[in-house]
Amino acid sequence: MSLVRDVEALLFLSSDPLDLAVIAEACEAEPDAIAAALTELAHGYRQRDAGIVLRELAGGWVLASHPDAEAAARRLLAKPRTPPLSGAQAETLAIVAYLQPVSRPEIGRIRGVNAESATQTLLERGLIEEAGRSQFGASLYRTTELFLKLFGLGSLADLPDPSAFDPAPEVEEELRERLLAAGEARRGDRATDSTPPADALSG
């Protein structure tokens, strides 16, 4: 039974038809055993009236949707697909994920460029949401449940450990400079906010 499981997993992972020799090599099994596993797999799908069928195509084997499910499949695939995140959007999302709640000015300081467009796109796609305002009145942002779902995370605690990131030296230097500049700007804002008005000093 484990061989049938392994064969099914290989067919699921491959977008191209796999012939007996390729499957046998991956499973470290004889071609006759693979042929028997394919027969058992196909029989199991038919017996369960599954939505998946095993097809022989272009000299190999491939998993395909059941012909009776074609109408439903067409309706699903006809829907517009969500476009992938751009580099700027992915960078902005990472900053929000690790530093949330974080304001748009802070995001811009870390990225070194204006973050308005990327932030607005992430808001529209439901990956981030507003989470109150900073002491300076700027909107704060945090990630949403949709973000966790799309990235396969149970919670924010499942985010990859940043210390495991191993960038190239030039990338590391650029990131360090951005973070230092953002930190200096944040300290400057706090100092300005805590400085009393001139009339208070003179009084």
Closest alpha carbon to 37 in 54, 50, 51: 54
Question: From CA 107, how far away is CA 105, in angstroms rounded?
Answer: 5
Query: How far is the C-alpha of 115 from the C-alpha of 106, rounded, in Å?
Result: 9
Phi, psi dihedral angles at 82 (to 5 degrees): -70, 125
Distances (CA, A) of 130 to 118, 144, 147, 148, 197: 14, 10, 14, 16, 31
CATH 1.10.10.10 fits 2-66, yes or no: yes
Report the CATH architecture of 94-194: Orthogonal Bundle (1.10)
What distance in Å separates the CA atoms of residue 45 and residue 8, rounded to the nearest whole number? 11
CA dihedral 121, 122, 123, 126 (to 10 degrees): 120
Q: In this structure, is the dihedral angle defined by the CA atoms of residues 185, 191, 193 and 199, taken in order, positive or negative?
A: negative
Query: Which residues is 65 bridged to in the sheet?
Result: 52
For the chain, domain boundaries: 2-66, 94-194
Indicate the helix (H) or strand (E) that contains 55.
strand 52-57
Burial class (CB in 10 A: 0-12, 13-18, 19+), 182: buried
Tell me if 2-66 shares its fold with 94-194: yes
Task: Render each residue's pLDDT in the chain as its tens digit; 203 residues.
Answer: 689 999 999 999 988 899 999 999 999 999 999 999 999 999 999 999 999 999 988 789 999 999 999 889 888 877 766 678 888 899 899 999 988 899 988 888 888 888 889 999 999 999 999 998 888 888 899 999 989 888 888 888 888 877 666 666 776 677 667 666 666 666 665 555 544 444 443 43
